[in-house]
Structure 1
Amino acid sequence: MTSPYAQDGFSVGFDWGPMGAGVVAGDIVAVVDVLSFTTAVTVAADLGIEVYPYRWRDETAVTYAEQWGAKLAVGRSEAGPGDVSLSPATIRKVEGVSKLVLPSPNGSTIAKQLSDGGATVIAVSLRNRQAAAAWVREHGAGRRVVAIAAGERWTDGSLRPAVEDLWGAGGFLSALDQDDLSPEARAAVAAYDAVAGQLPKLLHECAGGRELAQYGYPEDVAIAAEVDESRSVPVLEDGTMFRSTRTR
């Protein structure tokens, strides 16, 4: 019996987190983690840096980075001069890096999960929503498209739906300009359309934006709020590496 949660019968779908990614299957899946994984990936792509997503920042990540000859991102609070972290600002400032292992328990984990399941995975943020939609229109004829909002985690480990990811996913789906959207996808589009004229202001004022600013990273929010400024579309190759394509 088909799962009632699969959004079958629609060419465009939307859901949340790893569980949603496992239920709502798509041929092309846009992973959206605005603050900050997919924003960081798009910033790296703009600079020609290949990103290797990884779930944990531990000793296995060190080994993984050595395997690929890549620089390993450190924690935001640990980053010193010349270091790179999940902070897009550090990626924009770094020099001499062509490969980056970027641990992220949300965005990286979902991207790897989807790729292992056979989907074509792209990294989408507010910065590249239009470019990603154009790429899908070019490469996705006849293919089902799904956006997955990564969300965040409460201290008990449960999913915290993050409105910035809802906006990022909705912005991408809105730019697709397709009619055959599931009710969930339509709700995401409506959420983006309701605030599109007030971005980036609302991104700074939402819980995720306030959290990063409170911890001393307002520049990361400002970069995430660069709506439509990137033409890069990072595509996950072989479940291993985000490599950028560019749209006109």
Structure 2
Amino acid sequence: MIRRVTSPYAQDGFSVGFEWGPVGAGVVAGDIVAVVDVLSFTTAVTVAADLGIEVYPYRWRDETAVAYADRRNAKLAVGRSEAGPGDVSLSPVTIRRAQGVARLVLPSPNGSTIAKELSDGGATVIAVSLRNRQAAADWVKAQGAGRRVVAIAAGERWHDGSLRPAVEDLWGAGGFLSALDQNDLSPEARAAVAAYDAVADELPNLLHECASGRELTQYGYPEDVAIAAEVDQSRSVPVLRDGMMFGST
């Protein structure tokens, strides 16, 4: 008889798991996977979903992204620093102000890339932020029992390309997992829940004071942080199907 050796990193034996980044997403598998990129991909997606905008995640904004948007009759988001009047970017503020946008291609090297890779692997992928963490948990519970749920904190990147664990994504993932109200959490998932519970009463102030919040504020985007800090203000649960995310409520 051949005995299968399970990876010690897979968090097998637990119905709820948690990991970091694209590599972690490939190791800890789930039937339903919540991608969490609070500043700002998943926050931007929830803002778009609130407005009825279809979002197509894409990895990079390059020539292939232009062609991809053209084929879908969609608006291609520009870089944050490149956005002028009427443009849409990864900044949730620009999405909230957008006029006449029905479809949006939203490049993001972190959250968007992870979501696309997971969906290609057969998982049901949802976009989770602090704005919709309770709604997302309610949606997952409504799907019925027996499904393994995993939260992936996207994190950010240092200048050398290595993963920078971003505390806002830890809080977003932990807030979602906490709202699931399940007992069978992996140790990693329990740690994420504990991290959220420790700061829940101090949000949104701590979101402005964390490294990523300070970074966006320094670059001139404090409103993006304020929108990301709208805890539980969205009932939209964007689900990735056929390359497109649209809000289920």
Q: Same fold (TM over 0.5)?
A: yes
Task: From 128, 135, 145, give the equivalent of 1:124.
Answer: 128
Q: Letter of the aligned partner of 1:158 in structure 2?
A: S
State how far apart, in whole Å, the 2-side matches of 1:113 and 1:184 are.
22
Q: How many residues align?
A: 245
Give the drift of 1:140: 4.2
> 1:147 corresponds to which residue?
151
The aligned runs of 1:106-117 (5 Å cut-off) are 106-117=110-121
| SS of corresponding position for 1:164 | helix
Partner of 1:241: 244
For the pair 1:81 / 2:90, whether they are aligned, the reply is no
Given the alignment of the two structures, is residue 189 of structure 1 paired with residue 193 of structure 2, yes or no? yes
CA RMSD of aligned residues (A): 0.4
* Shift of residue 207, structure 1, vs aligned partner: 0.1
User: What is the TM-score when the length of structure 1 is the normalising length?
Assistant: 0.98
Counterpart of 1:31 in structure 2 is: 35
Conserved? CA contact 1:29–1:121, under 8 Å = yes
| Post-superposition offset of 1:82 | 0.6
Letter aligned with residue 231 of structure 1: R
Aligned pairs for 1:57-72 within 5 A? 57-72=61-76
Q: Unaligned regions of 5+ residues in structure 1, if any?
A: none
Q: Structure 2: state its 5+ residue gaps.
A: none
Residue of structure 1 aligned with 2:141, choices 132, 137, 143: 137
The residue type equivalent to 2:16 in the other structure is: V
Deviation of residue 141 (structure 1)? 1.8
Q: Which runs of 4+ in 1 moved over 6 A?
A: none
The alpha-carbon deviation at position 29 of structure 1 amounts to: 0.1
Letter in 2 for 1:225: A
Q: Give the counterpart letter for 2:51 in structure 1.
A: L
Structure 1 CA distance, aligned partners of 2:99 and 2:208? 28
State the distance in 2 between where 1:56 and 1:195 align. Answer: 33
Tell me the CA shift for residue 101 of structure 1: 0.1
Q: Which moved more, 1:135-144 or 1:223-232?
A: 135-144
Give 3-state SS (helix, strand or coil) of 1:180's partner.
coil
- The answer to whether the 8 Å contact 1:28/1:140 transfers is no
Q: Give the percent of matched residue pairs that are identical in Structure 1 and Structure 2.
A: 86
